[in-house]
Structure 1
Amino acid sequence: MNFPWNDTDVTASSGVPLAVAWLGRTSTDDRQDPTLSLPRQLTAARNALPGECLIVAHFYDVESGRMDLDARGRGQAHELLDIPIARDGGIQDLLAEAERPDRRFAAVICESVERVARRTYFGTKIEYELEQAGVMLLAADEPMPQLTPPRGGRARKLATPVLTRRVKQAVAEWYVLQMLELSWDAFCEHTEQGWNVGKPCYGYRAKKVPHPVAAKLAEGRSKSRLVPHPVEGPTVTHIFMLRAVQRLGYDAIADRLNLESGKHPPPTPADPRRALGRWSGSAVREILKNPKYTGYMVWNRRATKQGGKNNPPSEWIWSPRPTHEPLVTEEVFQAVTSTSRSRRGSRSTAGISNHPQAARVYVLRSYIFCDFCERRMYGKSRMGIPYYACEPDMRSQKDRGDWHARHPRSLWIREDDLLDLVHKFFAEHIFSAQRVRKFVPDNVVPERLRKELLDLERRLDNVLVQVEGHIPTGDEEIDRDFRAQLQARFADLARTRRTKAEEAAAWAVNGGLGGDLELLNKSSNLAALDEELQRKLFDAFNLELRYSGDTDEVLIRVTLGNCPE
């Protein structure tokens, strides 16, 4: 460990104590108490220094030693703790002062070299920067080198201490990596077995199970599985249906839920102080993006040690099979995911946008896409005539693809031409007499409901057959009881049939017509409908227009039930 003495250094040979700075670090993530750990590290450093040395400055941080060096020493975690050591700064302040000619110290001591950094690269980098500034890095758990310059020469770097330090740094880094790998594997197994981590998501509640480890059970700890919440669970299903069937935006769904807040209670965040007391678009979005509602346990959706940023789906850990009762089907979840992609940047409500520059409405906004770049075309007026335009920034390097060379600088198409095509398409292909007659039973009402209705009809017929074929026994009391039981059975089946018929009608309305019973009657002349009704109809059929600038053609795509056309 080279110690390049110079004429300005104050050493023990002049009778003045050698000034030393102490460097400490602890992390709140390793179950250490910084108010105890840091004073212990300081005491260990004092005890290891020779008598001619004196600690004159204290630098410490409460943070992970695996962070990049540029990010180190910039946190405020120490301010939240009552640490009984006056702080001169963190690692960045230490390195900055080491470069100054008026620095207060000639050496730096730490309890152990892994306190400097948990990564060998950053630990040796800090050691090198200090050495270049003429400051030696000492460790309390290593033999103390010669601190005063020998007569007739400089202090020399000793091979064995360097090897010992590098081995210790490598072992420390290996230990952290091994613990992270073991912890990762444990969380994966925990997820595959269906155990929940953290607060249950909205719509579920925790079913606590005694912890299988005796020591943790003695501490009162438990594990939990997800079970549907009796009130919140149906709300989650309702939210997914509003998104998948009616394709409403996040804010529009939140507005509907707030109209029935008693039936659909808003979620409560982990920190109750942040509760809004109402539904918001962001709360709806979090629910629609959570795959746990499909019945699978999913972990690692967020990087907890990186500010909670969202990880890409490729990094999520899924259980191999469902582990709890689902609130939505996988098909509905996928439909919502595709709806989110197609609706990105659009809104559900009719009327003029609240943007200050908005001057008019565009009936087909959010439905038309450019076939070159896959971007949504936006409304724009020229000489009072409404158009839909695509004008990407051709200078931008972001998201460049094969389309870039073929895409015109500006691509426009008139709204009235598009509306004529759309209205004609719906009149001829959707609301023709033949299509209307078969639309509801064939494309909207689920097969399950149709089978249940047919079964109820059969069972009602059986009851009627028993009534018609009954031969009196001659015992008036027995015959009266028999007729009463048949009547009760018939009434019960009739009520069930009526309920199922109403459910089928609701599916027909919500699944095909966006919730408006009058749309079928009005659909013969779509141009006469106002913007709100037209957009409700377009949303019900998942309308999508793709404009090809090469051929000046428009591809119209709608979805009937689960069958795109």
Structure 2
Amino acid sequence: MVIGEPQRAFYGNEFGDTFPLFVHYGVPLRVPEVGGAVDGSNEAHDLIMSVFGGTSKGERNRIKVRVHAAMSSQTLMEGRFLGGRPPHGYRLRDLGPHPNPGKAAEGKRLHGLETDPRTAPVVVRIFSEFLRGYGIYAIAEGLTRDGIPSPSAHDPRRNPHRDARAWAKSAVRAILDNPRYTGRQVWNRQKKHEALLDISDVSLGYTTKMRWNTQDKWIISKEIVHTPLVDDDTFARVQGQLHIRASTGTST
């Protein structure tokens, strides 16, 4: 096997984890930078391949920083919708060709959010009832009792693993917590976290999990970029009530 760019083929310590398999199956690994086949008993070869793994890891981290900075700017300054599912109460609308010429050439489009006439009133009802003193559980029960489809029932592809027959408390809480309903675009509410598959065998590598960021890390657009379902004052009052109820144990 010939590796033209080893810094793109091996990340971190992947070479050390995989090269024994090449040796076991008698597959020669050729890399131009070592002048031919990699010799596992040659310390210089091993050092060179380790350097490539470190180079790959460093470049990946630099790319992550650049992408994060670009997406933060697009959200903060432009209020651009950066993908994903629209929040319950909104639907996607086509805004034309993607502003990136390369992506536009591939046929990709730019999207934004617009109110969904079927689900937007439900979101408004949830905020209103919460401020009138209803608990999250009571709101969920009322929506179910009135036959209003939950987010999973309204869009079965949204969460196919969940029971769509009733509103869940978590769905109501997610709506009350989402600042997008103020008309501003929000990004970086979640982040990808790499966790070891098996802490007793690090050679198995990592798996990616999503974790919630704290609110101070959220990127929120400066301007209103889609139709608000609640105003800033209403959203702030709801957040204050959520905090008070959580601290007193009466959030449900």
Q: Evaluate the alpha carbon distance shift between residue 112 and residue 240 of structure 1 in structure 2; reply closer, same or farther with a 3 A threshold.
A: same
Matches within 5 A, 1:326-405: 326-344=228-246, 345-346=249-250
Question: Corresponding residue for 1:310?
Answer: 212
Question: Corresponding residue for 2:100?
Answer: 213
Q: CA deviation at 1:273?
A: 5.2
Question: Corresponding residue for 1:292?
Answer: 180
Maintained 8 Å contact 2:29/2:38: no
Question: What letter corresponds to residue 191 of structure 1 in structure 2?
Answer: T
Q: CA deviation at 1:313?
A: 0.7
Instruction: Report the identity percentage.
Output: 28
**Number of residue-to-residue matches in the alignment:** 217
Q: Deviations over 1:307-353 (max 9, x none)?
A: 222111111111122211111112211211121122223365xxxxx
Question: Corresponding residue for 1:252?
Answer: 138
Q: Deviations over 1:283-325 (max 9, x none)?
A: 1011011111111111111124552221111111111222111
Question: Corresponding residue for 2:73?
Answer: 189
Q: Evaluate the alpha carbon distance shift between residue 139 and residue 145 of structure 1 in structure 2; reply closer, same or farther with a 3 A threshold.
A: closer
Write the distance in 2 (CA, Å) between the matches of 1:283 and 1:290: 11
Maintained 8 Å contact 2:2/2:29: no
Q: Evaluate the alpha carbon distance shift between residue 320 and residue 267 of structure 1 in structure 2; reply closer, same or farther with a 3 A threshold.
A: same
Q: CA deviation at 1:139?
A: 5.2
Runs of 5+ unmatched residues, structure 2: 21-27, 194-207
Q: Evaluate the alpha carbon distance shift between residue 347 and residue 215 of structure 1 in structure 2; reply closer, same or farther with a 3 A threshold.
A: closer
Write the distance in 2 (CA, Å) between the matches of 1:299 and 1:229: 21
Matches within 5 A, 1:58-97: none
Q: Deviations over 1:155-190 (max 9, x none)?
A: 7644xx466445433432232122212211221133
Question: Corresponding residue for 1:228?
Answer: 115
Maintained 8 Å contact 2:151/2:158: no
Q: Evaluate the alpha carbon distance shift between residue 347 and residue 209 of structure 1 in structure 2; reply closer, same or farther with a 3 A threshold.
A: closer
- The one of the two structures with greater contact order (alpha-carbon pairs below 8 A, sep at least 6) is 2
Write the distance in 2 (CA, Å) between the matches of 1:224 and 1:347: 35
Question: Corresponding residue for 1:559?
Answer: none
Maintained 8 Å contact 2:89/2:121: yes
Q: CA deviation at 1:254?
A: 0.7
Question: What letter corresponds to residue 188 of structure 2 in structure 1?
Answer: N
Q: CA deviation at 1:234?
A: 1.7
Maintained 8 Å contact 1:294/1:329: yes
Matches within 5 A, 1:259-270: 259-261=145-147, 264-268=148-152, 270=158
Q: CA deviation at 1:281?
A: 1.0
From 171, 181, 201, the equivalent of 1:283 is: 171
Question: Corresponding residue for 2:23?
Answer: none
Specify the SS of the correspondent of 2:111: strand
Q: CA deviation at 1:216?
A: 2.8
Q: Evaluate the alpha carbon distance shift between residue 347 and residue 294 of structure 1 in structure 2; reply closer, same or farther with a 3 A threshold.
A: closer
Write the distance in 2 (CA, Å) between the matches of 1:139 and 1:335: 63
TM-score, with length taken from structure 1: 0.35
Question: Corresponding residue for 1:91?
Answer: none
Question: Corresponding residue for 1:534?
Answer: none
Question: What letter corresponds to residue 149 of structure 2 in structure 1?
Answer: P
Question: What letter corresponds to residue 206 of structure 1 in structure 2?
Answer: L
Maintained 8 Å contact 1:114/1:123: no
